[in-house]
Amino acid sequence: MGAALGIDLGTSGLRVAVLDAAGTVVAQAGVPLPPGRATEPAAWLEALETALARVPLGEVRRIAVDGTSGTLLAVDAAGAPVGPAAMYDAPAQAGAVAAIARLAPAGSPARGAASPLAKALGMQARPGVARLLHQADWIAGTLLGRFRHSDENNALKTGYDPVARRWPGWLAATGLDMALLPEVAVPGTPLGEVAATRFGLPRGAVVCAGTTDGCASFLAAGAHEAGEGVTVLGSTLTLKLACDRPVAAPEYGVYSHRLGGLWLAGGSSNSGGRALARHFDPAALARLSAGIDPSRPSGLDYYPLPGPGERFPFADPGLLPSETPRPADDAAFLHGLLEGIARIEALGYRRLAALGAPPLRSVRSLGSGAGNAAWTAIRARHLGVPMLPALSAEAAVGAALLALRGV
């Protein structure tokens, strides 16, 4: 089959990974996006061109792209962007959000203040718009030379129904021009051969339907059976759990992506790295963690947050951080914070199980906090399941695996 190329476009940069036919990483490269240009598709292509120049492409036969879930852009008939992209976390117009809330099914991920569907309703009025695409769709379309496909994961928050596997009829009632929506393919499905010559990709290489960055990270971690979880310990605390059925609870921000024969149910707590950064810089975290005995409880009952508000495992916009009393010893204080976040993680997986997900069997960890041995041991004590090593922490590797093996 030759090699596979994965392209991962995140909020601050672009990364690529090349895997051989056995799935072994051959090369990786990353390029940061210039400050203030995250919404500029031209900056995405510049970063892609730079990154691809740093890895061997001669044996690449299959390619897949992942992008930030919910990032949307409008293009003309030639695929040229019409205006800036709308990033996944940008708020949508309140009237469109309210209209979707009235019309969308209760469990639809198209609901919410940052709804891509609500943004699409505004974007379709731009002069010259011929198609509404997601970030990964547009990069793949640039490689293909045609702009008409999306995938089931990126299309989810724009209203796609992954159970019925179609764009549902209620979307038209919102005022959306359904003709602007892309065709949706199963992630990993071959879409066609590369047409673009700008990037040095070999002739005959096939572009496959991609996925979101979160799903690509799950694939990269190596989880693939129901009950296996992946926790991302980044600025926030994000959980994904492989399920044998879809799980949805919009009141907790829980929804499910379809990936092969599994569903990835997940939610994100506001706790995590930003809550720790209020008190300690990375050097202090490493130094103090070395002095913690993770086998012993801290005796503290904290709910660490970076500020007011929580969304998962329960929703309380007014919840305040609970981080008192503070011991005089900084290591003891950090012990309590790490233990508090571990309790939130355990509660999150229990919440998913209560909503219909299978019991947790194991956890793999990604993100900056995954390398903290003391924290891992504390989390293992609270989760009560094996903590398995992630095969890779790079979403680009997951995208390449998707291209290589499908779902």
pLDDT value of position 12: 85
What single-letter amino acid sits at 324? T
Q: Which domains does the chain have, with CATH numbers?
A: 3-214+396-405 (3.30.420.40), 225-389 (3.30.420.40)
Phi-psi category of residue 280: left, alpha or beta, with phi > 0 → left and psi -120 to 50 → alpha = beta
User: What is the model's pTM?
Assistant: 0.91
pLDDT value of position 11: 82
* Structural contact between residues 63 and 4, judged by C-beta atoms closer than 8 angstroms: yes
pLDDT value of position 260: 87
How big is the chain by its Cα radius of gyration, in Å?
Answer: 21
pLDDT value of position 157: 94
pLDDT value of position 346: 98
CA 396 to each of CA 345, 375, 377: distance values in angstroms, whole numbers, following the listed order: 25, 26, 28
153 Cβ contact partners less than 8 Å away, ≥ 6 residues apart: 69, 187, 210, 211, 212, 215, 257, 258, 259
pLDDT value of position 326: 97
pLDDT value of position 90: 87
What are 340's two structure tokens?
């508090």
d(CA 214, CA 231): 11
d(CA 290, CA 115): 42
d(CA 185, CA 300): 49
pLDDT value of position 89: 82
13 Cβ contact partners less than 8 Å away, ≥ 6 residues apart: 30, 31, 32, 33, 47
Residues of the chain whose pLDDT is less than 50? none
pLDDT value of position 190: 97
**String of DSSP letters for 262-309:** EEEEEEEES-SHHHHHTT--HHHHHHHHTT--TTS--S---B--SSS-
